[in-house]
Structure 1
Amino acid sequence: MTKDPVYLLSTDPQCLTRIQKELPDCIPVDSIESLFEMLQPHSRVLLFVDVAQLEHASPDALQAIALVLIQCPPARRKDRPEYDSWLQQAIAALQPAAVLPPDPTVQDVRIGYTMGCALLNRGRLERQRREALFQVLQRIAEAVEREDSLLYALQSAQQILAESVDAVYAETWIPDSGRTALIHSGIWFRSSHMFEGFFQESLQYSFVPGEGLPGAAWQSGELQWRTDVRTDRTFLRAALAERYQLGAGFAIPLFAGEELVSVGVYFFDRPRVIDPYIVELVSRAAWEFQQTIAHKSEMLESRRKQEHIRQLLGFRDQFLYNLNHEIRTPMNGVIGMASVLAEDAADPEQREFAEAIVTSAQRLMSSFEQLVFFLQEIPSDPETLNSQLEGVNLNDVLSSVCDQHTITATRRRIQFKPILRLTPYRVVGSRQLIGFVCSNLLEFCFSQAHNETTLRVESAEDKPAGNNLPVGLVVQMEYQGECLPDSVIDAVNSPDANGEALYRATTGVGPALPLAQRITAAFNGRFHLESLGRCRYRITVSLPVSEVEYSQPAASTAVATDDRTDASDAAHQQPAVLLAEDNRINQLVLARHLRSRYAVETAATVQQALKLAGKKRFALLLLDINLGNGTDGVGLLQQIRRGSGPNAATPAIAITGYTQSGDVDWLLDVGFAEVLGKPVLQQQLLDRVQTVVSRTENQQ
């Protein structure tokens, strides 16, 4: 008796008695529904059933049941005139193991039972093979994903497949460099050491398409089977196979698209006719391997490209990092020396020439800073840019930008009046890009404004009528200067102007205006250029308000260029400043800028600076970061701080050509009170030094 249970469902008492007499262990059930309630998931059973009981049963629901159908007695067929047709349809749909007559004999029952058991066993074998196939495919996919090298992936897949089909030896052949023949890859599997000789002697062989078992698989693109390789005339290593007692063999090609990757060859220890199960297993495994390899190749190629891009970006950033310093340092000398010449020149024409050098150098530095900003600070993909959007304190950005341009306004004799109003709201955007927009607009206004013209910058809230919540924060700039053509105003204000048309229309007024308009539009802001008459213009930028709120900062104050403290108001005793700068020209320029208010002592090396710092107390340490000879201002500051000398707590300002935001943050973190980027202008230098010295005096 089979281990699988046997159930009986019939309404004919005579049929029930006869079957139970022959199969005493069968279990009677009264309906299909009650049978399903008794069965465990995926269980397979043998069911003797009256065909009339299956009228409403689903074929899919009965797929795990081996059926032996019992026909209805003639007396019950009267209720179904088309019984014969209905019976044939049921047999076709249910595929029973046997169909018994209405009044089955003992012999009929035995035949039905035998055929039902055979069907159960066949179904069990098919299920086991499906499960084995799934496990093999899963192991191969996991092995391929795990291995970084294609050859290692082939080796792992070959071993898994060989063990799954009980092969005693397996090998992998790959195309040569010219893709004209197959050569041994060196990848092989053996179940016994006796096959090592077969491997060694096979290394000397190669196969062109159609030649030998590997070549036949390459040419056909399909699995090739040899019942006995020892007697097969097409198998070129028949003598070797005889010596090492190999039997049947097959080869399966692997492709990546149209290109052959390899041919796997597997051998058994005895002759064997083609096995459909092995053919299906190997074919499915080859397909799975090809799909996984294709997917992994795409991932590896994508990863390789990303790594290549990352390296290129790293080289670019390092180049810009070094270029930033190498340009700022000499420009500091150019602007500084030209400023000194302009101050000391007795001839008005010479002073004008020197001021022209300063102005040109400043414009060059402005263009250079914009170039570095766009190359290094702005992400190249929208996703990264969106991830950097934040709630930005607009007044903080404007204060910083206005501070940076105050010196420029003074030098150009422009009355510069920032009016920054407090607001508890932030705007949506990138701090760097919004600062870039405001800085570009100020540069544009400075380039267009006439001397002795007031440039007013004002911030305000943009509120619709009757609504307390602002929809945006507004920056307005007003200036009087060069008259702009109407075409420029129309192009800047047009919401449909693309980049090329915008830049073409604004040719002659510089790139600042179209750049600001495009970036504002990218943040869903509004940009408007308005003529107020008589060559006076107002630029309005409205940026959307973020829902993020922040606490009110300390009150901002308006900055005017005519309220600056003059050198004559300095204290009678000048504070002492230690200047450490290895570049002779920059040392002269910085010392000249400071000596109007401070007593400056200079050092060109770390050793000289340490010696001076150990002798007397200074009000401020002004340290260049790159001091040459492998030393820097950071190390110098740390040595002074660790010592017990008079300047262990003296505030320090860093002077550097490395001005990226990360560099500035790092210098502030290691202990510098302020960071000045080269080129350093005189008024900017004096303001920062005075701020730090005054702050220290107030704290004391």
Structure 2
Amino acid sequence: MIDNLPSDASAEEIRRLRRRLDRERAARLEAEAIAEAGTLRLFEHQWRVELTQAIATAANSMEDPLEAFRFAVERICAYSSFTMGHVWTVEEASSPASMTSSGIWFTALPPDTAFAQQTATLRIGHGEGLPGRVLAAGRALWTEDMTQEPDCPRAEGARLAGIRAGFAFPALIGEEPVAVLEFFQNRISAPDEALLEMLDRIAAVLGRVVERHLASLRLKRNNELAAQRDAAEQASQAKSAFLATTSHEVRTPLNAVLGLAQALRREPLTTRQHELIDGILESGEMLLRLLNSVLEMSKIEAGEATLMLADFDLTNMLRSIVSIWTPRASELCVDLELEMIGLAPGLVRSDRGRIEQTLVNLVSNAVKFTPPGSAIIIRAIPTDDGARLEVLDGGPGVPEADRERIFRPFEQTQDGRSAGGAGLGLSICAGNVRLLGGEIGCDKDELGRSRFWFTCALSPSQGDADGSIETVETISVRHGLRILAAEDNLANRRVLQVLLGPSGVDITFAGDGGEAIEFLRAGRFDCILMDANMPVMDGVEAVRQIRAEDLAGGAPIHMLTANVFDDDVTRYLAAGADGILTKPIQLIELFRVLASVPVLAWAAA
């Protein structure tokens, strides 16, 4: 019996294996927690992006500042838990600056309450209550309880009206407030810093409406057509800058979510865990495609948009949309069904992002309007040159007189205004469908159900003749490949580590462009991945210097960045980059680049 006991060496091996399993288990749990937290932050950030985009798009089309303020107040109340909104406007030529009520309200309170009457008669100066403090500070501020706020001339009226927490933010021209928008609710609430940060961005957007209005008045008085063209150019540049900032802010956290989820997917997981990871990846990739499509809207308006053609399985895309939207529909006691009539699985070629965004917008509208106990049907029918996609719901439908205008920007029916939204979703759909070579419309089916539909052209797949699909596993990356990655964001570094670690590559990280240059002076690398936005020295300047001093030694340089607008790509290539990889990282594109890296002379020796 004693002879059968494990030796000390065997026992130590068992302990070592247990420690290893414990470490791997802890690593998986950490990755899952990071992915889940990132997904939550992503969707919280997404609704703020949607709100900001809606206000910015509306503001860019409105000439009257009061109209833009009213739109912003209604949208912010609709998106938040604050049920009362009001706008103060700064009096012209007042010194020191003071404000009076604009008369714009969004509230359930009757207009003859003491609080509303007092607001209508007040003149607010610097530091007087919440709006006065915002006037002085020029930024968004929060009060947890208005009734306890010092120097608040409306504290008693707020107490009687049941008003407690509030926040306010300015509309800014440069650093000068021209209006203050305030919002209140009936309970004490701690500050929401992310909301305040978003409002500070909207401040400049609304300020540009006032600035454009004042410029327009001056131009009309002076009949200066040249100045009018300059104002339009400035508005266009501001819009481009806003879209670039939005793109970068969404892509950076999305890179971590998708990257870590892809890495976790390659771990040994249970079937249920694989399903959850697949759900994260499907939702994140859909969000990325929707982001790309929204950012293309300015090109659609200018007639400069192009299709991004790729092979995909339309049936899988439809099932994915149904899977993602089913939980939301179930919350509202609505069934979501998919009917594919004669549509066979297999790869087709078109712009998946635009088809997906159009269908998602129609499903989103259907969910809003369908009463509990009814059903929404997504129906796909093949046509001679593509497919017809329909969304049938139990809502009231669109009156025949309104069916054409609802596809124009900011046009809504009365039911649409009641349900909220900016009136942009269907106009985006119409722009997408025009590019796809199809038609869009709404009517009622033979059973009287509301039906939105569109057609799109589909081309045969250009995949391999044997039907095989390239995957990360089929791409061979040279073991020991030396990569220099210039990346200042720790989360993005972690993504590269977990994605490339199993491939046996050797990654060296630099915190900025200058540090990357020092690494190149000291050693050799097979490939250089360069972020664009970094402190000290950015990626573009670093690439210029690397090319000027011939430090790469033949190693290709690829920008790995969330800034992927056409102007950005042009700058990267002009500086000397060999290619561009986008964030969130497309794993198969990254592996293709690494697999194509040549064996340099120093490595062969």
Query: Please, what TM-score do these two structures have when normalized by structure 2?
Result: 0.43
Bigger relative contact order, structure 1 or 2 (CA pairs below 8 A, ≥6 apart): 2
